[in-house]
Each structure stands twice: as structure tokens, then as C-alpha cells.
Structure 1
């Protein structure tokens, strides 16, 4: 029997059908196509500038950007990423697949509190990757891993000597080999952590862009919020990227690939959202029972775990 919201007997009606009807709506696209199209290009510029600025500044010593500017960009961007995780990922995750949601009352989703379980699994998976990566680097190079300070990365200065250190004469060849090995270890460890963080953010950006393309009356507010979000989240990613000691063979292309990856993801997703603006319904009843909605909910939960762990640890 088809659910009829105008004729409901609360004593016999399926609670899931009532919840799904109340929570899920129709396509809310309300026009303003020229403004939405221009927003794609504005978001491209904002995202690209935000993520590229710290790296370009690091590569151009003539700009003489002080160390504290990098520190501000890194930690302010980290705050934006953490707030995104809690406000834009944690709450929607519970709303979409929590025990009182349409999906959460359906099939196997109703048998377990999957929202916190997926988040916990995400955090522990990233922790396992971290431990495995450090163990791999230590076993491969036979060295104890030390974390380099941000200031030393930027200025490339040597760490201060301690009272237990003894000056041992080294040849230029030994010093060069030791520096190369330390740089290689630092790159492997830090780039792995950076890749996990950027992957989680890019996944999240895909659905942000899609939802922006089909947003209704709230799209103008979402436009401003999204610009701020992209700029400062990009600033945080760019600052972290600029502090990774890149080996020469990667220096010319790898950082730019990461910058382009972040810069174009949201604009492309926005363009796709505009392309399906009259047919895509991110909160529709039909979508909730299909793989598309389940995938979106899973990636939202997973992104929360990766972003929170990487910025808090």
C-alpha cells in the first residue's frame, strides 16, 4: 500500500514512512541560474588562491612572509576544518542515519547505532595507518622517527644541541647522506598524513558542491558560507603542504597536483549539481532507499573521523 500523508491512521501506519515523509523533501531548486554559474568560477578562484598562497609564499623568499603567518594559517585553517567536522559532518551524520532518521529506521540500519560506529572506525583506521606508516619507515631506514618542529621546517634550521650531544666530526658526504635520509623519512611520514586529510576533505567537498547546485532559498547564504569555508580550509591545507619537506624529484609536480585537486573539486561538483539541478534531490524519499544516499551518509561519517583525527592529533 502506498503511503498517503493526507490520510494517516497513526495506530496502523508504519512509523518509518511517517518519519521519511516528515524528514525528506522534494527538489528545492528555485532558479537564479546565472548567479549560480558565476559562483562556480568564484569558488574556483577562492579555493585555488586559498590553498596555493601558503605554498607560493614558501617558494618565493622575496615575499618574506614571517613564520608566524604560516603558523596562523595552519592553526586557523585547522580550526575551520575541525568546526566543519563537528558542525557540517557530525550533526548531518546523526540526522541522516541516526536511530530516529528515515535511513536509520530501515533494514539493517535500524539494528545498530551506525553513525558513531562508523566515525569511531574511521578514527581508528587512520590511527592504524599512522602506526603502520611509522613502523614501516623505522624498519626500512633503521632510524628512530623524530618530529620536526614547524619553525625548523620553514627556516630549515638545525635543532638546538642538548647537553647530552657530543660534537662528532663528519665528512661532507656523511652530512649530505644523513640530511637526505632525514628529509626522505620526514616526507614519507608527513605526506601520508597530509594525503589522508586532503582525501577526507575532497570527499566532503564533492557533496557540498552537489548540494549547492540544487539548494533552494538558502543558496545565497550558503554561497557566502561556502566561500569562507573554501578559503580558510584551503589556507590550512596549503600551510600544511608548504611545511612538508619535498624531495627534488617530487617538488615540481606533486604539490601542484595537491593544490589543483583541492581547488577544482568543489567547483566541478557545483557544476555537476547545476547540470542535474531539476532531477537531483539530496533529501528525497526515493534517494533515501538507494545506494546514492547510503554512500553519501557513509562518506560523511568517514570524513568526520579523518578530519577530526588528523587535526586533533
Structure 2
């Protein structure tokens, strides 16, 4: 009748909510009025009001118009009608087991005689992990972060600067370079102080060299204790750098794992099963990368298992959070878009830097041991690298 407006119910195309309105309400007004209606709770999409009667516009036409509208901040779940709580609870344990299994692959492989340290098999597993790291950073994190930070629900910020996501990635890369350089300087200086009286002894040795008889034999570098200390110091710095890289890598993965766990926790319907299957492969391959990185940098068994456990438990924690907030969570709210977008771009930047610099450059590009391998072995490692990157990129179609 006059002064009445029909708002379609998103979860039931054949049902419409009749509201009294002297003018055509906006999306937000329509959504607020719909929420006040009895027996109606959450609406995944807010459609504009329709002043025409149902006899002149079909339910299909109204539903199509709804799908074309963007609702910022709308809840994506219609109560618990499509939510399989048992399956969601079970998926928590599935993801944990799969993640933990991935981290154990490098550890178990090292126990096999043919897979001892520096063997071609262990190197192939590591190369596969390098590819996983880079693809995860680019395809799964940076790409998703850019998508979140390009959402029109963020308003004028997105319109004024379209490269917002890439800007956060760039900031992360620059900061990663700064942290690595200054960490090397700091821990190098600390190591020099801890490893003896290097500078003072160096000066005394130089002065003594002036008054030393010419016929005295010059000590060989291998016989010089200070040369040995320098070698030990370089090895110590290398170990510290690898530990720092592992911890930073772990931090980036943890950020991402919480987000994907939360997304899985609020996902429902047939999409949930598809996402769960994709995340099982995602977590397994990422677990191999975490386990391989930790194994090469952490000497303590307890620390190794702690790093692996933290990775394995992080996504399930995100799932628990998602299950808890499923009825109020909106992935299109401004807060959600900012948080997920920034975290994904930062985590992706960390993994991209880690993959290209810490892993590829130090372990392959400038590594004499790798470059001195036989051609067949080098190409086997290249293929492992490409396989890891390719499989992880493929999984990005679903997760």
C-alpha cells in the first residue's frame, strides 16, 4: 500500500519484510528495520528498498538486485541454520594434526640414513619449503591483503590511494632489511666482546710485529688463534642470523594462520568443506617449510618442537575464535578489513623477504656448496623449489 516498502529476506528469496516508510530507505536503514522484525536475525546482504509490489517484480529479480549490492558491516551468517557445529569442532583437530604432521616431515627425514644432513634428499625438502614460503607470501597473504585494503567499504582512503596494500608490503620489506642489518651489527659486536679481548690484543700484536726479527717465521693463518676466533665468530653470527630469520618467519606465519583459522571458523555450507580441504594441503606444506627452517637453525630439541607446536596450534586457535564470534562477525566491516588487510600485507612482506633473501640467496644463490654440486643435483633442487611454489600457488585458488 501507500507508504509501504518491501525489503527482501536474503536467506529466503520467497519471503519479504514489509516496512512502513514515507520514502525509499537506504541500505543501512533497510538493514536496521529488518533487524527489528520478529523471528529475523542476521542478514548477509542489505538490498535497497523496493516501493513496487510483489506482483510487478519477481522474487528472482529482487534477489538478483540484492546480489549486486555491497553491504558494509553486514553479518554473513543466518543464525545456525547452515552451521554444522560438529564438523567445525572436528576440523580444529584435523587442522592441528595435519599442521603438526607437516612440521615433522623434515625431522623424520633426517633420522633416515639416506637423508642425513646436507644430503640431496634433505636439500630437496628444504628447496620445496623455500618455494612454499614465497608462494604463501605472494599468493595467500599479499594478494588477499591487497584485496581487503582495496574494498570499497573503506571509503575515500581506497579511492585516493589505490596502492595501499602494496605500500604496507614495501614498508615491511624495508623494515626487514633494517632489522637484519642492525641485528647482525649488534650481535656481532656482542660476540666480539664475549669472545675475548680482540681489539686490545690486535694492537699489541701489531706493535710487536715492528720489533720482531726479520728471520722469525710468520705464523700461518691456520696457526693464529685470533684467526680461529674470527672463524668461530663468523659461524656464530651465521647461526644467530638463521635463528632471527626463523623467528621472524614464524611470526609472519602466525599472523596469517590466525586469520585463515578465523575465516574457516565462520565459513558455512558447502564452501566450508572446500576451504577445509584446501587448508589441509596449505597447512601441511607450510608445516614442511616451518619444520625445515627450524631444523636448520635451532640446535635445541625443545625449542624445535616448541616452534613447530606454536605453528600447529595457531590456526586451530583462530578457528575457535571464529566459532565463538560466528553470529556477529562481519568480514566487510571497516575494522575487519583494516586488521586483516594490514596483517596479511605485513605477514606477506615478511615471508617474501624471508624467502628471497634469507632462504634463496643465502642457501642457493650465494652458497658455494650449492653452486659446486653436480648439474643434475642442482636441477633437482630447482625442480623441488618450483614444485613447492607451484603447488602452493595452485592451492591459492581455493584457500
TM-score, structure 1 as length reference: 0.74
* Corresponding residue for residue 224 of structure 1: 277
How much has 1:102 moved relative to structure 2? 2.3
* Corresponding residue for residue 136 of structure 1: 186
Structure with larger Rg: 2
User: Could you say if the C-alpha distance between residues 245 and 92 of structure 1 is closer, same or farther in structure 2, counting changes exceeding 3 Å?
Assistant: closer
How much has 1:120 moved relative to structure 2? 0.6
* Corresponding residue for residue 249 of structure 2: 197
- CA deviations 1:235-275 (Å, max 9, x no partner) are 011111111153xxxx1432222111101101121122223
Output the CA distance in 2 between the equivalents of 1:19 and 1:141. 61
Output the CA distance in 2 between the equivalents of 1:81 and 1:105. 33
* Corresponding residue for residue 62 of structure 2: none
* Corresponding residue for residue 237 of structure 1: 290
User: Could you say if the C-alpha distance between residues 56 and 133 of structure 1 is closer, same or farther in structure 2, counting changes exceeding 3 Å?
Assistant: farther
How much has 1:167 moved relative to structure 2? 6.5
* Corresponding residue for residue 330 of structure 2: 281
**1:168 and 2:210 matched:** no
Q: 3-state DSSP class of the match of 1:21?
A: coil
Output the CA distance in 1 between the equivalents of 2:262 and 2:298. 35
* Corresponding residue for residue 128 of structure 2: 76
Match of 2:309 among 260, 264, 267: 260
User: Could you say if the C-alpha distance between residues 63 and 257 of structure 1 is closer, same or farther in structure 2, counting changes exceeding 3 Å?
Assistant: same
Output the CA distance in 1 between the equivalents of 2:324 and 2:126. 35
How much has 1:74 moved relative to structure 2? 1.8
Query: Does the 8 Å contact 1:209/1:267 carry over to 2?
Result: yes
Output the CA distance in 2 between the equivalents of 1:261 and 1:85. 19
Q: 3-state DSSP class of the match of 1:133?
A: helix
Output the CA distance in 2 between the equivalents of 1:185 and 1:85. 26
* Corresponding residue for residue 37 of structure 1: 89
> Mind listing any 5+ residue stretches in structure 2 that lack a counterpart?
1-24, 31-46, 51-67, 194-219, 358-399
Output the CA distance in 1 between the equivalents of 2:129 and 2:86. 31
Match of 1:297 among 341, 351, 367: 341
How much has 1:64 moved relative to structure 2? 4.2
Query: Does the 8 Å contact 1:97/1:115 carry over to 2?
Result: yes
Output the CA distance in 2 between the equivalents of 1:169 and 1:84. 47
Query: Does the 8 Å contact 2:169/2:348 carry over to 1?
Result: yes
Output the CA distance in 2 between the equivalents of 1:259 and 1:266. 12
Output the CA distance in 2 between the equivalents of 1:91 and 1:24. 23
Output the CA distance in 2 between the equivalents of 1:184 and 1:56. 26
Task: Return the structure number with greater relative CO, CA threshold 8 A, min gap 6.
Answer: 1
How much has 1:300 moved relative to structure 2? 1.0
Query: Does the 8 Å contact 1:78/1:233 carry over to 2?
Result: no
> Mind listing any 5+ residue stretches in structure 1 that lack a counterpart?
9-17, 144-165
- Give the aligned length: 267
Output the CA distance in 1 between the equivalents of 2:69 and 2:161. 18
- CA deviations 1:164-214 (Å, max 9, x no partner) are xx663478x996x67764543222111111111110111000010011011
How much has 1:122 moved relative to structure 2? 0.9
Output the CA distance in 1 between the equivalents of 2:249 and 2:310. 13
How much has 1:219 moved relative to structure 2? 1.1
Output the CA distance in 2 between the equivalents of 1:105 and 1:20. 12
User: Could you say if the C-alpha distance between residues 48 and 245 of structure 1 is closer, same or farther in structure 2, counting changes exceeding 3 Å?
Assistant: closer
- CA deviations 1:139-163 (Å, max 9, x no partner) are 33359xxxxxxxxxxxxxxxxxxxx
Output the CA distance in 1 between the equivalents of 2:161 and 2:95. 39
Output the CA distance in 2 between the equivalents of 1:191 and 1:242. 10
